Structure 1
Amino acid sequence: MALSKLTIITIFIFQALIFSAQSASNNSNLFREYIGAEFKNVKFSDLPIHSGVEFHFILSFAIDYTTSSSSASPTNGEFNIFWDTDNLTPSQVSAIKTKHPNVKVALSLGGDSVGNGYAYFNPSSINSWLSNAVSSLTTIIQDYNLDGIDIDYEHFKTDPNTFAECIGKLILTLKKNGAISFASIAPYDDDQVQSHYMALWRKYGHVIDYVNFQFYAYDKGTSVSQFMDYFAKQSSNYNGGKVLPSFISDESGGLGPNNGFFAACSKLKNEGNLHGIFVWCADDSKGLGFKYEKQSQSLLAI
C-alpha cells in the first residue's frame, strides 16, 4: 500500500526532529577562561558569570621550573606556582565556587615562557618526572581545591612519545586518585607542537576531556570561512575530541570577536559542533570590561 502524503510528511518531520535533537546534544554550554598569567590584579570575582553556563577558570601557570627570576631551571616534574597568588588564592577559589555552584577551577601546566626564556618540557625520565609531577601537583590541587588540569606546554626537549607517556600517565593517575575530574590540552597549529600533542591524543585521548585549541595562534585577520576550515581540520586531527573554538582578548591573532568569531560559533552551534568557548585571557579582558565574555556566555546559555 502506498503511503499517504500526510504520512510521508509526518515521517519527514519526525526524522528532522530526531536529527535536530542529535545535533543539539553535541553542543555544550561550557565557558573557559585562563587567568593570572599577566599579573594585572584580576580576581575571580571581577568576571561576569552567567548562571546558565558551566564556567571553568584556568589558573596560569604551574611550571616544573625553579622560581628564581634570574635563572629559572627545569625541576623534572616538581611543579611551582607562577600565577598571580596575591589575587588568586585558595580562599578566593573557595569563595567563587561557593557563590557560583556552576564554577570549577583548574590549573594549566607549562605555558610559553618562564623567567627570561621558554618553558620547556624537559623530563629526566618518564618515571621520575611522573612521580614528581603527581606528588607536587596533588599538593597544589588539594591546597587550592581545584577540579582539573590543562596541558599547555609549547616547547619541548624530548620526543613526542616521552611527552605522551608522561602527560597521559599523569592524567590517568590524577583521575584514578580522585585528584581531578577533568583534563584538557591546549595545542596550536605548529609542526612540533602538533607532533607532541597528536602522539598524546593517539595514546591517551580517551582520558582527555577537552581540546582548548589555540585558534588565535592563526594569522590575525582570519575570516569566518577560514576559521570553519581550521576547526574542521583540527576536529579531524583530534578525532572524537571536544574541540573548543577560542579567541584572544586583544584580538592580536586569529578570528577576533569583532570580525566574526560569534558568527562562526553560531554556525558551529547550528551544526551541533559547539562544544564550548575558551578565552585567553581574563588579565587582558579586564580592561575591556569583559564584554566578550558576556557575549560568549549569552550565546552558550541559549
Structure 2
Amino acid sequence: MDSSKVFISLFTLIKVIICLCSIQAVSASQSNLFREYIGAEFKNVKFSDVPVYSNVDFHFILSFAIDYGTSSSPSPTDGNFNVFWDTDNLGPDDVSAIKSQHPNVKVALSLGGDTIGDAQRVYFQPSSVDSWVSNAVSSLTDIVQKYHLDGIDIDYEHFQADPDTFSQCIGKLVSTLKKNGVISFASIAPFDDYDVQSHYQALWNSHGQLIDYVNFQFYAYANGTTVDQFMDYFAQQRRNYSGGKILASFISDGSGGLAPQDGFFTACTRLRSEGQLGGIFVWSADDSKAEDFQYEKQSQALLATPR
C-alpha cells in the first residue's frame, strides 16, 4: 500500500477518535436535569403544587436533615440526623404519591443548610470521623427508607472541622450509603466563599468520583450579576470541580446572582449551546409558589427542548 495513503488513513482515524471523545465529554456534562429545593421555609408548599414536565429528569430536594437535636435550643448530635423540613405537607405518603404520579421524579434530602430557624447556624462538628460516619449512616438510612428517598445532597455551610475531616466524613458516608444500596446519587451545594470552597474542594479532590452533581449556589454572588459575569463564574467553577456535572442556579426571591428576568436563561442557552449545562436548580419552591412557579416552567421548557 502507498505509504502516503496509510498516513492519510491514520490521520483520518485519529480525527474520528478525537471527535468521538469530544462528543462524549459534552454529553457527560450536558443533561436535562431540573432540581428544586423544597420545605425549608414552612410555607405550606406541596410537591403537587410544583409543575413537573414529563420530558425532564426532575429531583425534589427536601430541606433539611440536620444532625442537631430538635429541642428549643438545638445542638450538634455527631451525625444523628433529624428531619427539619415541613413534614405536614412533605411526608412519606406525599413522596410516594408524587413519584407514582410522575415516573421521572426522584426525591432527595439535603444535609445541613445555613441555619435552624432564622438565627442559629448549623455547623459541621463531628467528634471523630468514625463516630460521625457510623451515626450518620444509621440515622440517614432510617430517614431515607422511611421517606422513600433516592439520594442525598450535601449543603453544610459552616464548619468546626478542618477540610480533611469533612472530606473523610462525607466521602465515607456517601460511599457507604451507595454501597449499601440506600441511595443512587449524591450532590454537593458549595458557593464561592473561601472556607466553604476549601472544604468542598478537599472533598472533590479525594472523593469526586462519588459526587454525581454539583449544585453550585451561583445566587450567592452579588445581586445584579450580569450574563457575562455569570459565564465567567460558571467557567471558574468548572475548573474548581473539573469533570463534574455543574448545574446553573437562581434564587426565587431575586436576592442574589443573575435573576431569571435579567438574563439567567440567556446564560443557560449559551451554556447549552456549548454543551456545558449540567442542568438547572432553584432555591426554592417555598418562595416560587407566590409567583406560580413561572421560572420553574421556563427552566423545564428550556431543558426539554431538543438540542
The TM-score normalised by the length of structure 2 is 0.91
Give yes or no for the alignment of 1:33 onto 2:36: yes
1:196 to 199, 208, 213: 199
Give the unaligned 5+ runs of structure 1.
3-13
Q: What are the Cα deviations for residues 218-271 of structure 1, in whole angstroms up to 9, with x where unaligned?
A: 000000000000000001000111111100001110000000000000000000
* 1:256 counterpart = 2:272: no
Residue 21 (structure 1) shift: 5.4
Residue 282 (structure 1) aligns with: 285
Structure 2 CA distance, aligned partners of 1:138 and 1:183? 14
1:118 to 110, 116, 121: 121
- Aligned pair partner of 2:80 in 78, 81, 88: 78
**CA apart distance, 1:143:** 0.2
Of 87, 106, 109 in structure 2, the residue corresponding to residue 107 of structure 1 is: 109
AA aligned to 2:193 is: D
Using the TM superposition, name which of 112-121 and 37-46 deviates more: 112-121
Aligned mate of 2:94, from 68, 71, 92: 92
Q: CA deviation at 1:68?
A: 1.3
For residues 173-201 of structure 1, give each alpha carbon's deviation from its aligned partner in whole angstroms, at most 9, with x where no partner exists: 00000000000000000000000000000
Match of 1:268 among 252, 262, 271: 271
Deviations 1:62-104 (A, max 9, x none): 00001113x1100000000000000001001000000000000
5+ long unaligned stretches in structure 2: 5-15
The list of structure 1 runs, each at least 4 consecutive aligned residues, that deviate by more than 4 angstroms after superposition, is 17-24
Over residues 88-137 of structure 1, what are the superposed CA-to-partner deviations in whole Å (9 max), with x where a residue is unaligned? 01001000000000000000000000243100000000000000000000
Shift of 1:160: 0.4
Pairing 1:297–2:297 present: no
Match of 1:60 among 60, 63, 66: 63
Please state if 1:219 is matched with 2:190. Answer: no
SS at match of 2:206: helix
Bigger CA drift: 26-35 or 278-287?
26-35
Aligned residue pair count: 292
Measure, in 1, the Cα distance between the counterparts of 2:150 and 2:124: 23
Pick closer, same or farther for the CA change 1:65–1:269 going to 2, 3 Å. same
* Offset at residue 18 of structure 1 (A): 6.6
Q: What TM-score do you get using the length of structure 1 for normalisation?
A: 0.93
Deviation at 1:23, TM superposition (A): 7.1
